[in-house]
A and B are shown apart, each in its own frame.
Chain A
């Protein structure tokens, strides 16, 4: 249940990932044509199958150095055809392609850089020492391919030290770009910051990410330029270390989502929730109280109202943490207020057009929410949309 709600959005979870099933090296033989000269594990791709698709593996000149993926009914074959021109070869050129084979229903985009780099490595070795073309390629390649497939599948990375140059392969997962970070958003750590040498900005910013400071405030506290903080937070969002939640205020309104149903049935999520919202870890709150508070969140009920009704301190619930985990797990959702001005004063219409919510306006203008709300309430030309 780690990846739900906000966290989930960063990953393309619709397509699966799978291991490399086979890795093979094929070349253009001067007399026999395209052949597989080394395969790990052996006989995974049959001769007949290879012959039917060899046109996509040993390709025409125009498709050299392109990543080519061909999807068959059982396999997906990813290759990067390479040609080395030299007079010393029987046909004045040497063609080869190192291919990965995966199941046909998995993504292979993240293996593309690996294939390109491995091909470059082989190409360098071939040019320097005729590593591939001297007739003994199969025996020399077999251990390398074995190492690559095993280590990439288990560790996701692999270091090759064969020959004069070394190369390091790593599978980097493709994730979608995180949305731009806005001033009024609040970053929360969803897993501990990995222990490594972070850049200076992150080192300076990270201590202020406590789940309650919004970006503009973090910038002020850490004495780092606002845009740098945003870039840093966006980077952390990309790596799934941080999630962004709306600013907590007692005047905020939240509403339940259909996900709340899951909380009632998932015991692991319940325990996680209880630990998270507890005022002290020694005595956890009642689950029924937690659920009741979530269930009471509807449009029109502010957190202030809820606190008055339930007195969360008595129930050993930290209401700020309650809202945080609710939003992170997607059990509740913030209901924003969008003011719209319906008169003809063009000055104000820019900011009160309905495109920006109160949080954004307050953050941009530096006005307290309560003050702004009171003012908007007095003006009859202003309509507040909650959505």
Chain B
């Protein structure tokens, strides 16, 4: 595993010189030496010729996942950097080991306030050189945080002077040549050494670090490349993947916790944010973020931030809220086979069901609505929803969305329009956290009204309340009512304005253009750029206050120029797709 640290090293440098105070793990170094040296055959001829041009063997400083080949003195001389490089990122690669740290200068509490009272402290992580750039950045961040905490503790109560003093004494007292016993002593005496040990062990096991420095400052840190391993084995989730997912977050998405809600208590207790607790109280996987925000009485923006936090710390993932029309299929990399541990885990959660039987129903795109008929017992339905939630939590299912591509002529779009590009870039770059920024249309207001009206209704965990839809349709009728007086000629005029001739000709061949309402809706959606494959129909429904049936009818009527295809939402599918 290339994200695990090989070693954590603590180096100080002050007026008395530099010294490696502690490293963890320290038990390995001594034992491997005899194993490496092969017995020489006394009869071999020494190879004397061509010493110069002989290819140098690539030397390795990693032995069975541990750092080897450096003495403590060499390490301390490398990490006790010159003052020019202090308080900056420190990155050094030697052969196949990469060292990352953040050398921190701190003013010792009981010394005078000049250069002689300064101490450099550097917590260095030894990583494999293969570790990606983002992993290195994360470790640097961790080292920086430890440095800041230590600087503060030194200022508050002289913690660092005391700890380094104990460590130095242990080194001086311990008989020279065997640093192991000195490290042993340090580990029992120094809390800072214990912290480093815990740091190393946490990073290697879960990737979640939670330590108390000097029993005062809490340092919590999450290594995303590691922490997501427990639910996505073998896949490295990079921070930028998470960022991309969070940038694409929309109010209609919903939060899916990966743990039972009861287990979240220790996480929230640690974090201490009351709004997070408030949100979790209202949590349900069938509520979208907007409803969740309304129920928890938080701003949408804040709910987005909390979601981002939970996703980053691998406590939750983002899905489209579970409703009757959602189509699911088996995720392409779902690790389902007879020896999979998931099968037992599933039968523990649902004793009567078999995971393979259950999931095989999703071999073809299947919606919840298709699976439960009206005669279905409510208990059965909730069981079904529970199994789907379980499978989504384990990334076994993928939701398919329908995307629409406007293709008016035989060779695609008549002219590539700037408008598309603008829309695309807006979607990618624009600050999506504020939902209204990307569609400042009139419909936005009407939607907001209707949403706030229904948010109380949807508190009951139903699958997408009907009244919501009715409300929306009423709104829509109001909108279309005002425009009925216009005549067909006007709509054609409207289209004439900005559609290229060739496209217009093809559109008017469709019989549905004779119906002014259809044509108007088509023109409106087209002009807003919904038909360029960037919006799935649920998103269009949400943004434009449309009913599914309305939209599907329109797509059917204009199927000569609108091509639909089904695929996953790239923004939120990344956590299950390799």
Partners in one complex: yes
Residues of A near any B CB (own CB < 8 A): 14-15, 48-49, 51-53, 55-56, 60, 62-63, 65-73, 109, 116, 120, 123-124, 127, 165, 255-258, 260-261, 264-265, 267, 270, 286-289, 291-292, 294-300, 333, 335, 338, 340-342, 349, 353-355, 383-387
Query: 4 closest A-B pairs (Cβ-Cβ)?
Result: A354-B337, A295-B565, A261-B533, A71-B91
Q: Which of B319-336 contact A (CB under 8 A)?
A: 329-334, 336
**Once the chains bind, are B52 and A124 in contact (CB under 8 Å)?**
yes
Supposing A65-B56, A287-B412, A340-B337 touch, asked if A258 and B357 sit within 8 A by C-beta, the answer is no
Q: How far is the CB of A355 from chain B (nearest CB, A)?
A: 4
**In the bound complex, CA of A383 to CA of B532 (Å):** 38
**Once the chains bind, are B565 and A260 in contact (CB under 8 Å)?**
yes
Q: Please pick, from B333, B336, B338, B340, the residue contacting A349 in the complex, using a CB distance under 8 A.
A: B338
Q: How far is the CB of B394 from chain A (nearest CB, A)?
A: 14
**Once the chains bind, are B56 and A288 in contact (CB under 8 Å)?**
no
Q: Which of B335-392 contact A (CB under 8 A)?
A: 336-340, 354, 356-357, 359-360, 363-365
Task: List 10 contacting pairs A-B, 8 Å CB cutoff, sorted by A.
Answer: A15-B133, A69-B92, A69-B93, A71-B89, A71-B92, A72-B85, A270-B411, A288-B563, A385-B360, A387-B330
Q: Please pick, from B330, B338, B534, the residue contacting A353 in the complex, using a CB distance under 8 A.
A: B338
**Once the chains bind, are B53 and A124 in contact (CB under 8 Å)?**
yes
**Once the chains bind, are A340 and B338 in contact (CB under 8 Å)?**
yes
Residues of the A chain whose Cβ atoms lie less than 8 Å from the Cβ of B534: 261
B405, CB-defined interface residue at 8 Å: yes
**In the bound complex, CA of A66 to CA of B339 (Å):** 45
Q: How far is the CB of B477 from chain A (nearest CB, A)?
A: 32
**Once the chains bind, are B82 and A68 in contact (CB under 8 Å)?**
no
**Once the chains bind, are B92 and A340 in contact (CB under 8 Å)?**
no
Q: Please pick, from A56, A109, A288, the residue contacting B409 in the complex, using a CB distance under 8 A.
A: A288
Q: Mark B198-236, 1 if CB is under 8 A from A, else 0.
A: 000000000000000000000000000000000000000
**In the bound complex, CA of A219 to CA of B336 (Å):** 32
Q: Please pick, from B92, B360, B533, the residue contacting A260 in the complex, using a CB distance under 8 A.
A: B533
**Which A residue sits closest to B71, measured CB to CB?**
A62
**In the bound complex, CA of A264 to CA of B360 (Å):** 33
**In the bound complex, CA of A176 to CA of B570 (Å):** 26
Residues of the A chain whose Cβ atoms lie less than 8 Å from the Cβ of B95: 66-67
**Once the chains bind, are A291 and B89 in contact (CB under 8 Å)?**
no
Residues of the A chain whose Cβ atoms lie less than 8 Å from the Cβ of B416: 265, 267
Supposing A55-B78, A127-B52, A255-B567 touch, asked if A261 and B403 sit within 8 A by C-beta, the answer is yes
**In the bound complex, CA of A286 to CA of B71 (Å):** 69
Supposing A65-B59, A288-B412, A383-B357 touch, asked if A300 and B93 sit within 8 A by C-beta, the answer is no
Residues of the B chain whose Cβ atoms lie less than 8 Å from the Cβ of A15: 132-133
**Which A residue sits closest to B59, measured CB to CB?**
A66
B526, CB-defined interface residue at 8 Å: no
Size category, B interface? 35 or more
B485, CB-defined interface residue at 8 Å: no
Q: Please pick, from A49, A123, A257, the residue contacting B567 in the complex, using a CB distance under 8 A.
A: A257
B479, CB-defined interface residue at 8 Å: no
Residues of the B chain whose Cβ atoms lie less than 8 Å from the Cβ of A165: 53
**In the bound complex, CA of A49 to CA of B85 (Å):** 9
**Once the chains bind, are A299 and B337 in contact (CB under 8 Å)?**
no
**In the bound complex, CA of A257 to CA of B534 (Å):** 13
**Once the chains bind, are B360 and A384 in contact (CB under 8 Å)?**
yes
Residues of the A chain whose Cβ atoms lie less than 8 Å from the Cβ of B53: 120, 124, 165
B420, CB-defined interface residue at 8 Å: yes
**Which B residue sits closest to A123, measured CB to CB?**
B52
**Once the chains bind, are B94 and A288 in contact (CB under 8 Å)?**
no
Q: Please pick, from A70, A261, A265, A354, the residue contacting B92 in the complex, using a CB distance under 8 A.
A: A70
Q: Mark B473-499, 1 if CB is under 8 A from A, else 0.
A: 000000000000000000000000000
Residues of the B chain whose Cβ atoms lie less than 8 Å from the Cβ of A48: 84
Residues of the A chain whose Cβ atoms lie less than 8 Å from the Cβ of B331: 387
**Once the chains bind, are A264 and B77 in contact (CB under 8 Å)?**
no
Supposing A264-B532, A385-B360 touch, asked if A68 and B93 sit within 8 A by C-beta, the answer is yes
Q: Please pick, from A258, A292, A340, the residue contacting B356 in the complex, using a CB distance under 8 A.
A: A340
Q: Which of B74-110 contact A (CB under 8 A)?
A: 74, 77-78, 81-82, 84-85, 88-89, 91-95
B242, CB-defined interface residue at 8 Å: no
**Once the chains bind, are A291 and B329 in contact (CB under 8 Å)?**
no
Residues of the B chain whose Cβ atoms lie less than 8 Å from the Cβ of A270: 411-412
**Once the chains bind, are A56 and B92 in contact (CB under 8 Å)?**
yes
**Once the chains bind, are A385 and B84 in contact (CB under 8 Å)?**
no
**In the bound complex, CA of A109 to CA of B569 (Å):** 36
Q: Which of B43-81 contact A (CB under 8 A)?
A: 52-53, 56, 59, 69-71, 73-74, 77-78, 81
Q: How far is the CB of B10 from chain A (nearest CB, A)?
A: 19
**Once the chains bind, are B357 and A287 in contact (CB under 8 Å)?**
no
Residues of the A chain whose Cβ atoms lie less than 8 Å from the Cβ of B338: 340-341, 349, 353-354
Q: A384-B360, A386-B330 are in contact. List 9 more A-B contacts (CB 8 A).
A: A62-B69, A67-B93, A127-B52, A256-B566, A257-B567, A258-B567, A261-B403, A267-B416, A295-B405
**Once the chains bind, are B364 and A120 in contact (CB under 8 Å)?**
no
B173, CB-defined interface residue at 8 Å: no
**Once the chains bind, are A300 and B365 in contact (CB under 8 Å)?**
yes
Residues of the A chain whose Cβ atoms lie less than 8 Å from the Cβ of B566: 255-256, 298
**Once the chains bind, are A295 and B564 in contact (CB under 8 Å)?**
yes
Q: How far is the CB of B146 from chain A (nearest CB, A)?
A: 20
Residues of the B chain whose Cβ atoms lie less than 8 Å from the Cβ of A109: 129
Q: Please pick, from B77, B333, B420, the residue contacting A60 in the complex, using a CB distance under 8 A.
A: B77
Residues of the B chain whose Cβ atoms lie less than 8 Å from the Cβ of A349: 338
Residues of the B chain whose Cβ atoms lie less than 8 Å from the Cβ of A265: 416, 420, 424, 532-533
Residues of the A chain whose Cβ atoms lie less than 8 Å from the Cβ of B407: 264, 287-288, 291-292
Residues of the A chain whose Cβ atoms lie less than 8 Å from the Cβ of B266: none
B33, CB-defined interface residue at 8 Å: no
**In the bound complex, CA of A73 to CA of B82 (Å):** 14
**In the bound complex, CA of A69 to CA of B136 (Å):** 14
Q: Please pick, from B73, B357, B364, B405, the residue contacting A264 in the complex, using a CB distance under 8 A.
A: B405
Residues of the A chain whose Cβ atoms lie less than 8 Å from the Cβ of B565: 256, 260, 294-298
Supposing A72-B85, A120-B52 touch, asked if A299 and B405 sit within 8 A by C-beta, the answer is no
Q: How far is the CB of A287 from chain B (nearest CB, A)?
A: 5
**Once the chains bind, are B70 and A62 in contact (CB under 8 Å)?**
yes
Residues of the B chain whose Cβ atoms lie less than 8 Å from the Cβ of A383: 356-357, 360
**Which A residue sits closest to B334, measured CB to CB?**
A387
**In the bound complex, CA of A15 to CA of B339 (Å):** 37
Residues of the B chain whose Cβ atoms lie less than 8 Å from the Cβ of A289: 410
Residues of the A chain whose Cβ atoms lie less than 8 Å from the Cβ of B154: none
Supposing A14-B133, A62-B70, A120-B53 touch, asked if A258 and B84 sit within 8 A by C-beta, the answer is no
**Once the chains bind, are B412 and A68 in contact (CB under 8 Å)?**
no
Residues of the B chain whose Cβ atoms lie less than 8 Å from the Cβ of A14: 132-133
Supposing A123-B52, A354-B337 touch, asked if A386 and B363 sit within 8 A by C-beta, the answer is yes
Q: Which of B527-578 contact A (CB under 8 A)?
A: 532-534, 563-570, 573
Residues of the A chain whose Cβ atoms lie less than 8 Å from the Cβ of B89: 71, 73
**Once the chains bind, are B410 and A288 in contact (CB under 8 Å)?**
yes
**Once the chains bind, are A299 and B329 in contact (CB under 8 Å)?**
yes
**In the bound complex, CA of A333 to CA of B331 (Å):** 12
**In the bound complex, CA of A116 to CA of B330 (Å):** 50
Supposing A71-B89, A120-B52, A288-B407 touch, asked if A258 and B330 sit within 8 A by C-beta, the answer is no
Residues of the A chain whose Cβ atoms lie less than 8 Å from the Cβ of B91: 70-71
**Once the chains bind, are A55 and B77 in contact (CB under 8 Å)?**
yes
**Which A residue sits closest to B88, measured CB to CB?**
A73
Q: How far is the CB of B296 from chain A (nearest CB, A)?
A: 32
Residues of the B chain whose Cβ atoms lie less than 8 Å from the Cβ of A354: 336-338, 340, 356
Residues of the A chain whose Cβ atoms lie less than 8 Å from the Cβ of B420: 265
**Once the chains bind, are B567 and A260 in contact (CB under 8 Å)?**
yes
Q: How far is the CB of B93 from chain A (nearest CB, A)?
A: 4
**Which B residue sits closest to A253, measured CB to CB?**
B364
**In the bound complex, CA of A260 to CA of B412 (Å):** 13
Q: Mark B99-138, 1 if CB is under 8 A from A, else 0.
A: 0000000000000000000000000000001001100000
**Which A residue sits closest to B408, measured CB to CB?**
A288
Q: How far is the CB of B112 from chain A (nearest CB, A)?
A: 25
Q: How far is the CB of B575 from chain A (nearest CB, A)?
A: 14
